[in-house]
Amino acid sequence: MKIGILQPGLVPDVILEEVGDYDTQFHALLDGHGFEFETWKVVNGDFPDGPDAADGWLITGSRHGAYEDHPWMAPLEELIRAIHAAGKPLIGVCFGHQVIAQALGGKVEKSDKGWVIGPTLYKYPDSTRLVNAWHQDQVTELPPGAEVVASSEKCRNAAILYPGHAYTVQPHPEFRRNYVDSLIEHRAPGVVPAELIEDAKTKLEMPLDSGDVGAQFARFFKEKRL
């Protein structure tokens, strides 16, 4: 099964060599599930011909906001709607989570809850999962037909299911400790409040449930169910 990765952002050069780009992080997360991958860096204007270029689709994170005006944003939203209409399985993470909601009729805004960074606890109907996060924006209004399947203390719409078509999450199951550590060192100072940085540092050694989320992604790609 071929998974098309749509990449609307680039890992900062200062940490790229150490942690890899967004797409390679997802290769690692989904390793062992029998997928092959092809990446389109939509942030650079590189787009597939259409939904049939892959069997399933994944939209990664980005430093950009879904509500920002970029030349590639409208074509990305158009492609999302085409993938959705074609019934191809679609997964979105962080920015991907947000832009899918926006493209399908929801709303994305900077949250009055502020930044969420580092290991964060998410409540699902039958479990809780600790997953890395790094965001300030959130989905504040759901698209028609969307269902919330996980929430956190600061993020009500943390995982959204579009039955039979798409599944999206606000946190970053692909982020390993070294990546969050590098973000804290190179991106957080002067942007994220100091107390949140220190709190995240105290949690970096905690065991994560990222593998469970990766398995959930794999199941959704293959069976369109959680």
Q: Each residue's pLDDT tens digit in the chain (226 positions)?
A: 999 999 999 998 888 888 889 999 999 999 999 999 999 999 999 999 999 999 999 999 999 999 999 999 999 999 999 999 999 999 999 999 999 999 999 999 999 999 999 999 999 999 999 999 999 999 999 999 999 999 999 999 999 999 999 999 999 999 999 999 999 999 999 999 999 999 999 999 999 999 999 999 999 999 999 9
User: Coil, helix or strand for 116?
Assistant: strand
In order of start, what are the domains of the chain with their CATH numbers?
Answer: 2-223 (3.40.50.880)
Instruction: Return the amino acid letter for 190.
Output: G
Q: Of residues 84, 97, 135, 174, which has the active-site annotation?
A: 174
Two tokens, residue 17: 């060599």
141: annotated active-site residue: no
174: annotated active-site residue: yes
The pLDDT score that the predictor gives to residue 15 is 87
The pLDDT score that the predictor gives to residue 19 is 85
Q: Please, are residues 119 and 129 in contact by the beta-carbon 8 Å criterion?
A: no
- 23: CB partners within 8 A, 6+ apart: 5, 7, 37, 39, 60
Per-residue DSSP letters for 38-74? EEE-GGGT---SSGGGSSEEEE---SS-TTS--TTHH
Q: Is the dihedral of CA 108, 114, 115, 119 positive or negative?
A: negative
Q: Of residues 84, 94, 97, 165, which has the active-site annotation?
A: 94
172: annotated active-site residue: yes
